């Protein structure tokens, strides 16, 4: 912490790991030790593994901080480490060609990182790092200086709404639960797909939020519900929990206030339906995850029949900030109805894939073009799907809309899990819709009839359309089905399952009609409706497509125009992808 210091931060989130971050860090340690760097520059080197900072398409990201001036390197491979150590750390001269460029800056400058901020700065496996940046101070304040009702008041005033999908006011939910007469109450933090980076980058924030929530509603026990498959998240949360327990933040008589609170893991299995709160409780109880009838709501009668609050891990991460910085600060971010920020996973056909945190109400256009850097391959934007599988598809013409609970509901979508998939003109909307419906059909728990049978029939009709045997009447049937499912399904999964179809049909009617009436797939995706052909004038006979074809359908001599045998063609598109001369066309 003196004036002369060297700090090396290596991004080790899931994708940092996947890109070889572990090896990069090992090599940094190796070279610094091996070359006696610390002795030569006369100062200690600190190594820090940090969580994901969102810019995953250029992993591994490495920060080298010398005397407070930070240099970020992108796409660091193990082989590059030696030169960074020699030239930069010892020599003092950064290596410009490996430094993170404008994309990195523009990716971050438009974001507003309040909960993702610490990810990428602190070591998630070290509680002292978190405490140094005022960690657990909010919990101490809440438990020792505030009454439970006071905490609930602040959370209500802040305008925080559930980040898991429904957007119900968090403070209200807590108040209902606190108002119940039972002595035993539970609080559950659901760590879903999008929260993965949070759990990996800043697990203590989730734990602290859960602790404050537990104090506010008067729960003795909290659960962290997490998919077993998220190995890294589980590991980091477990470490964090152990450390918090050692420090006395979790356990008996917390902060000397007499408040006892314990947190336990509950390992979920991979089921989409477990995102529904009553189904999640069934799963914790060890049963088939089928939603319960409501009312009574979980806040009145939840886990094991006791009042229970379920919030998303992202919601909990906001809590310490609200308590620490005040409700006014939090409600100054966002729009009139939707306060704070929201984390989205920006993926699909944008240049910069990654995890982004934006203030509520930011226009979709800015996310796609400023943060996402536009469409990969300079193609045309077609649509953006927001809110996970049961979200709606928003067409290019509407991307100036702001992202918040109300505007999204207006266009038939939801904030949902915060998934954001960008489609370009090479994606077929009908086929994409089919994919989402297929997913929802598979994940439907089968409890209520509208959802169980509705999703199945819907999928059958969509398959029929993409196979080229659809009829105009099918669209009416689909519309009618959607209405019935939305009106009469038991839980959110069934009620929102028709979102992809309704929104895509409203905005891309022409594409549906092209599939049905003209038997053509405009984007050239649906195998039954597309033909791959060689354009003889453009083909130079390089033979790439012949080698790429898995079915042996491409024939031709070298340096002469090739030909595709339509009977053998399996329409995989491999030839189309490898051709550098654009000599293969889809029809």
Partner 1 sequence: MGAPSLPGRPHNAYSIAQSSKPPSLLSGGFFCPVARRAGRLRDRTTAMDKVLNKILEEHRREKGNLILLLQRIQETYGFISRENVQWFSDRLDVPASRFFGVITFYPKFRMKPSGKNTLTVCCGAACHIKGAQQLLYASHEALGLAKGEDTTEDLKFTVEKATCIGACNIAPVVILNKQVHGAMDPEKVTKLLTGFAKEDEFIGY
For position 308 contacting partner 1 by CB under 8 A, the verdict is no
Q: In angstroms, what is the minimal distance from the CB of 218 to partner 1?
A: 23
Cα 201 to Cα 256: distance, rounded to the nearest angstrom:
29
Interface characters, 498-517, with partner 1 (x: CB under 8 A): --------------------
Q: How far apart are alpha carbons 500 and 496 in whole angstroms?
A: 8
Which of these, 587, 576, 583, lies nearest to 537 by C-alpha position?
Answer: 583
Query: Closest by alpha carbon to 525, among 382, 355, 328, 367?
Result: 382
- Residue 269 lies near partner 1 (rule: CB under 8 A): yes
Q: Which of residues 381-420 bind partner 1 (CB under 8 A)?
A: 385, 388-389, 419
Tell me the two tokens of residue 94.
Answer: 């950064």
Q: Which of 75, 271, 370, 486 binds partner 1 (CB under 8 A)?
A: 271
Applying CB under 8 A, among 439, 501, 505, 576 the residue interacting with partner 1 is 439
Judged by CB under 8 A, which of 349, 382, 562, 571 binds partner 1? 349
Q: Which is nearer to partner 1, 57 or 489 (CB)?
A: 57
Radius of gyration of the chain (CA): 27
Point out which residues pair with 555 in neighbouring strands.
Answer: 563
**32's tokens:** 């610094």
* 124 binding partner 1? (CB under 8 A): no
Contact between 380 and 423 (Cβ < 8 Å): no
| Residue 18 found at the interface with partner 1 (CB under 8 A) | yes
Q: Among 131-139, 293-301, 347-355, 560-568, which window interacts with partner 1 (CB under 8 A)?
A: 347-355
Contact 383, 423 (CB under 8 A): yes
Does 225 engage in binding with partner 1 (CB under 8 A)? no
Stretch that binds partner 1, among 152-160, 280-288, 398-406, 531-539 (CB under 8 A): 280-288
Nearest residue (CB) to partner 1, 66 versus 422: 422
Distances (CA, A) of 14 to 54, 422, 499, 528: 11, 22, 31, 37
Stretches 3-11, 35-43, 53-61, 174-182: which one binds partner 1 (CB under 8 A)? 53-61
Residue from 12, 25, 37, 54 in contact with partner 1 (CB under 8 A)? 54
**Helix axes 203-217 and 170-178, enclosed angle (nearest 10):** 40
40 vs 287, beta carbon nearer partner 1: 287
Tokens matching residue 470: 């659809």
Residue 45 found at the interface with partner 1 (CB under 8 A): no
Binding status of residue 450 toward partner 1 by CB under 8 A: no
Helices H / strands E in the chain, number of each = 25, 18
Q: Which stretch binds partner 1 (CB under 8 A): 134-142, 190-198, 201-209, 254-262?
A: 190-198
Q: Give 178 or 196: the residue with its C-beta nearer to partner 1.
A: 196
Q: How far is the CB of 345 from partner 1 (least distance, A)?
A: 4
**Among the listed residues 157, 154, 134, the one whose alpha carbon sits nearest the alpha carbon of residue 142:** 154
Among 60, 142, 280, 289, indicate the residue that binds partner 1 (CB under 8 A): 289
**Does a cis peptide bond (omega within 30 degrees of 0) precede residue 295?**
yes
Q: Provide the CA 348 distance to its chain's centre, in angstroms.
A: 12
Segment interacting with partner 1, rule: CB under 8 A, options 84-92, 327-335, 339-347, 459-467: 339-347
Position 17 contacts partner 1 (CB under 8 A): yes
348 binds partner 1 (CB under 8 A): yes
Count CB neighbours of 17 within 10 A: 19
Between CA 85 and CA 72 the distance in angstroms is 14
CA distance linking residue 310 with residue 319, whole number of Å: 14
H-helix or E-strand containing 529? Answer: none
Q: Does 521 bind partner 1 (CB under 8 A)?
A: no
- Shortest distance, position 17 Cβ to partner 1, whole Å: 6
| All residues at 6 or more sequence positions from 476 whose CB lies less than 8 Å from its CB, including other chains | none
The answer to whether residue 347 forms part of the interface with partner 1 (CB under 8 A) is yes
Whether 9 and 66 have beta carbons less than 8 Å apart is answered as no
Q: Does the protein bind partner 1 through residue 230 (CB under 8 A)?
A: yes
Among 98, 225, 272, 369, which residue interacts with partner 1 (rule: CB under 8 A)? Answer: 272
Distance (Å) of CA 477 to CA 154, 454, 474, 511: 48, 11, 5, 17
Q: Give the interface segment with partner 1, choosing from 119-127, 165-173, 239-247, 353-361 (CB under 8 A).
A: 353-361
Q: Does 430 bind partner 1 (CB under 8 A)?
A: no
Angstrom CA distances, 96 to 83, 87, 88, 93, 99, stand at 12, 11, 10, 9, 5
Residue 548 binds to partner 1 (criterion: CB under 8 A): no
- Distance in Å, CB of 515 to partner 1, minimum: 18
Say how far apart CA 19 and CA 417 lie, in whole Å.
Answer: 25
State the minimum distance, in angstroms, from the CB of residue 566 to partner 1: 21
* Binding residue for partner 1, selected from 50, 432, 491, 545, defined by CB under 8 A: 432
Binding site for partner 1 (CB under 8 A): 14-15, 17-19, 54, 56-57, 59, 192-197, 228-231, 267, 269-272, 283-289, 345-349, 353-355, 385, 388-389, 419, 421, 423, 427, 432, 435-436, 439, 443, 445, 572
């Amino acid at each position: 912490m003196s004036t002369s210091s060297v700090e090396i931060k290596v991004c080790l989130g899931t994708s940092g790991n996947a890109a070889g971050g572990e090896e990069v860090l090992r090599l940094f340690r190796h070279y610094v030790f091996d070359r006696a760097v610390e002795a030569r520059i006369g100062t200690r080197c600190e190594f820090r593994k940090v969580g994901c900072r969102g810019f995953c398409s250029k992993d591994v990201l490495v920060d080298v901080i010398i005397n407070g001036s930070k240099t970020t390197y992108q796409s660091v491979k193990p082989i590059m480490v030696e030169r960074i150590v020699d030239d930069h750390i010892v020599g003092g001269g950064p290596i410009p060609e490996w430094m993170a460029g404008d994309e990195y800056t523009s990716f971050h400058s438009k974001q507003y990182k309040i909960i993702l901020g610490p990810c990428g700065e602190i070591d998630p496996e070290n509680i002292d790092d978190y405490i140094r940046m005022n960690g657990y101070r909010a919990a101490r304040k809440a438990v020792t200086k505030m009454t439970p009702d006071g905490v609930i008041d602040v959370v209500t005033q802040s305008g925080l709404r559930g980040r898991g999908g429904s957007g119900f006011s968090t403070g209200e939910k807590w108040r209902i639960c606190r108002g119940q007469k039972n002595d035993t109450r539970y609080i559950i933090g659901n760590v879903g797909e999008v929260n993965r980076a949070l759990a990996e980058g800043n697990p203590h924030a989730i734990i602290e939020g859960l602790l404050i929530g537990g104090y506010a509603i008067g729960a003795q026990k909290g659960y962290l519900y997490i998919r077993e498959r998220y190995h890294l998240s589980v590991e980091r949360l477990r470490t964090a929990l152990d450390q918090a327990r050692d420090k006395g933040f979790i356990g008996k008589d917390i902060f000397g206030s007499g408040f006892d609170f314990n947190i336990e893991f509950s390992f979920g299995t991979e089921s989409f339906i477990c995102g529904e709160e009553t189904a999640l409780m069934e799963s914790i109880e060890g049963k088939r995850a089928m939603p319960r009838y409501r009312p009574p709501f979980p806040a009145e009668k939840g886990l094991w029949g006791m009042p229970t609050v379920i919030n998303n891990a992202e919601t909990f991460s906001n809590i310490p900030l609200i308590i620490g910085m005040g409700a006014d600060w939090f409600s100054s971010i966002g729009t009139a109805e939707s306060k704070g920020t929201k984390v989205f996973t920006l993926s699909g056909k944008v240049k910069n894939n990654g995890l982004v945190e934006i203030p509520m109400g930011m226009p979709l256009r800015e996310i796609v073009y400023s943060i996402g850097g536009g469409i990969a391959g300079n193609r045309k934007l077609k649509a953006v799907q927001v809110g996970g599988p049961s979200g709606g598809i928003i067409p290019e013409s509407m991307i100036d809309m702001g992202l918040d609970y109300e505007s999204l509901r207006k266009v038939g979508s939801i904030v949902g899990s915060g998934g954001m998939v960008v489609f370009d003109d090479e994606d077929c909307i009908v086929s994409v819709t089919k994919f989402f419906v297929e997913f929802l059909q598979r994940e439907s728990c089968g409890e209520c009839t509208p959802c169980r049978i509705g999703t199945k029939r819907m999928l059958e009709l969509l398959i029929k359309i993409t196979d080229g045997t659809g009829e105009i009447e099918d669209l009416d049937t689909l519309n009618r089905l959607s209405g019935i499912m939305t009106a009469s399904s038991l839980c959110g999964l069934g009620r929102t399952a028709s979102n992809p179809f309704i929104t895509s049909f409203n905005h891309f009617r022409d594409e549906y009609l092209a599939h049905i009436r003209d038997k053509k797939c405009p984007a050239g995706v649906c195998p039954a409706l597309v033909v791959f052909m060689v354009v003889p004038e453009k083909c130079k006979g390089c033979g790439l497509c012949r080698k790429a074809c898995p079915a042996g359908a491409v024939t031709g001599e070298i340096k002469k125009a090739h030909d595709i045998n339509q009977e053998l063609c399996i329409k995989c598109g491999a030839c189309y992808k490898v051709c550098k001369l654009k000599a293969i066309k889809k029809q």
